[in-house]
A and B are shown apart, each in its own frame.
With several copies, the nearest count.
Chain A
Amino acid sequence: MKTINLDYTAAAPVDQGVLQAMIPFFTEHYGNPSSGHALGETPRRALEEAREKVGLLIGAEGVDEKQIIFTASASEANNLALKGLVAANKKKGNHIISSSIEHFSVLNQLKSLQKEGFEVTLLPVDRHGTVDPAQLAAAITDQTILISIQTANPEIGTIQPVEKLISVAHENEIPFHTDAAAAAGWIPLDVKKTGVDMLSLAADQFYGPKGAAALFVRRGIRLRPLIEGGIQEKGLRAGTENVPAIVGLGEAARLAYQSLDERSQRVSAIRDQLKAGLFKEIPHLHLNGHPEKRLPRNLNISVEFVEGEALLMRLNMAGIYVSSGSSCTSQALKSSHVLGALGLPPELAQGSLLLSLGKESSKEDIPYITENLGQVSGLLRNMSPLYHQHLKEGNDNARVQ
């Protein structure tokens, strides 16, 4: 059976070159970077090389590349950034600002911090998912100690005006963290230019391995470690360094940096063509996220009148792999908070599909995707009470205005 991955945001294969770079560190250069003997040397050097490569990807080269703390996941990087900063800066205030469409690894921490007595403001977004810098400015109080707003959203693809948001933060002398896990490797990042204070990224979003991520921390920002113990990673993250994974992160960062423009342009061209094809062939589709300012590989649509898990299952049977923001596909059985924040009516959130492309995606697959999604949508609409109600009402007013 033909199979087409349209869920590269969930997972992507590790690049062959990246894997080849990693392999020797499992067996040959297996030493512990902290070791005082020859076995520690190559791994230790490899760690620093990886730091430089990640630095290059985010524009930290020459300035602050040593301020890159390796973690095991973007979730961990986000937890280190937020909990770590507030733990070290409690005396300065108790207010944190973020947005309503952050990843759960930001939002769920904030809930915990709220229980501990912190005040949290979650900025709303407009119907395209954009945070308004003026609303950020208005939300700042003299108690605000941290602002955390993502660079881009993994689900709807919307890219935030981070430069403006950071300016607002810095005018008020408040440190700014950005979760760039969905953005890194796909759009240019430049910590020198934006002046961002902390930035999270993860290797598995740009063809590196799972289990390797990083938090950039600008010099002067005080954090407390989440994982305490040895003084690896400047004392900010204890535990034997996962050298092979970090080498993989470095190599993936190097490749992503090298091919960023080419990769993004090619992928966004396919994405645009797929979008055009779907909207042409299938009635009652709805685009979620920003029409222009979005990640090159991201397409998010709602298929009116049907539910996402059923779509996902039917597409899976046709070898097409997607994800959905429906409540039935979430482990917590709640429909996407991101789609909710856009003001999308529940039935559209339930019928949302995230189609995310990768460098392996091909234009040639578009007809197959369009045809199958059309069939599947027709089939499920045919058994949908909402669709029959719509037919009866004979009206076709768009559900979102």
Chain B
Amino acid sequence: MPEYSEKVMEHFTNPRNIGEVSEPDGIGEVGNPVCGDMMKFTIKVKDNRIEDVKYFTFGCGAAIAVSSMVSEMAKGKTLEEALKITNKQVAEELGGLPGNKMHCSNLGADALHKAITDYMEKQKVEAGSSS
């Protein structure tokens, strides 16, 4: 077990916001079992804000803690703010990650961003079809 920070251990032990929002506005999936980590983020958007965010994560302790932290950081933020959440910030909020686990923090923000862009693209399509 790598030397995880207390914060990582706390999020790993009590991960927040597990699950799938019902009728998600955006879905972001990253990773695959080969590399050992997989995350699926679903978001609910209201008034350009992330009203709700949930995730399913297959992965190591870091991946789970990162997912949990990302969900907490994203909740309530505007889409623009949420898109600015960087992997570095996530790792920092977690009190740091062991060097060889940094790739897990990368996944977390990526999955969130993917869910947001998924939502944005759907909006465009809707906008397009309604025009």
Chain A in direct contact with chain B (Cβ < 8 angstroms): yes
Q: Bound complex: CA of A317 vs CA of B60, how far in Å?
A: 15
B20 at the interface (CB under 8 A from A): yes
Question: Closest B-chain residue to A41, C-beta based?
Answer: B1
Question: Closest B-chain residue to A36, C-beta based?
Answer: B1
A367 at the interface (CB under 8 A from B): no
A343 at the interface (CB under 8 A from B): no
Interface residues of B in 1-58 (CB under 8 A from A): 1-2, 12-13, 15, 18-20, 29, 32-40, 55-58
A160 at the interface (CB under 8 A from B): no
Q: Mark A308-336, 1 if CB is under 8 A from B, else 0.
A: 11101100110000000011110101010
Question: Closest B-chain residue to A313, C-beta based?
Answer: B61
Flag if A306 contacts B36 (CB, 8 Å).
Answer: no
**A327 cross-chain contacts in B, Cβ below 8 A:** 35-36
Q: A347-B33, A350-B33 are in contact. Are A310 and B100 (CB under 8 A)?
A: no
B64 at the interface (CB under 8 A from A): yes
**A307 cross-chain contacts in B, Cβ below 8 A:** 36-37, 58-60, 63
Interface residues of A in 47-71 (CB under 8 A from B): none
**A317 cross-chain contacts in B, Cβ below 8 A:** 13
Q: Bound complex: CA of A307 vs CA of B64, how far in Å?
A: 10
Flag if A313 contacts B1 (CB, 8 Å).
Answer: yes
Flag if B1 contacts A386 (CB, 8 Å).
Answer: no
Flag if A385 contacts B40 (CB, 8 Å).
Answer: yes
Question: Closest B-chain residue to A316, C-beta based?
Answer: B1
Flag if A384 contacts B56 (CB, 8 Å).
Answer: yes
Interface residues of B in 61-104 (CB under 8 A from A): 61-64, 100-101
Q: A40-B1, A312-B1 are in contact. Are A335 and B36 (CB under 8 A)?
A: yes
Q: Bound complex: CA of A331 vs CA of B13, how far in Å?
A: 23
Contact of B58 among A37, A305, A333 (CB under 8 A): A305
Q: Bound complex: CA of A308 vs CA of B29, how far in Å?
A: 20
Whole-angstrom distance from the CB of B117 to the nearest CB of chain A? 19
Whole-angstrom distance from the CB of A384 to the nearest CB of chain B? 5
A383 at the interface (CB under 8 A from B): yes
Flag if A350 contacts B36 (CB, 8 Å).
Answer: yes
- A selection of 20 A-B contacts at a CB cut-off of 8 Å is A306-B58, A307-B36, A307-B63, A309-B36, A326-B60, A328-B36, A328-B62, A328-B101, A345-B33, A347-B58, A350-B33, A383-B19, A383-B57, A383-B64, A385-B38, A385-B40, A385-B56, A385-B57, A387-B56, A388-B20
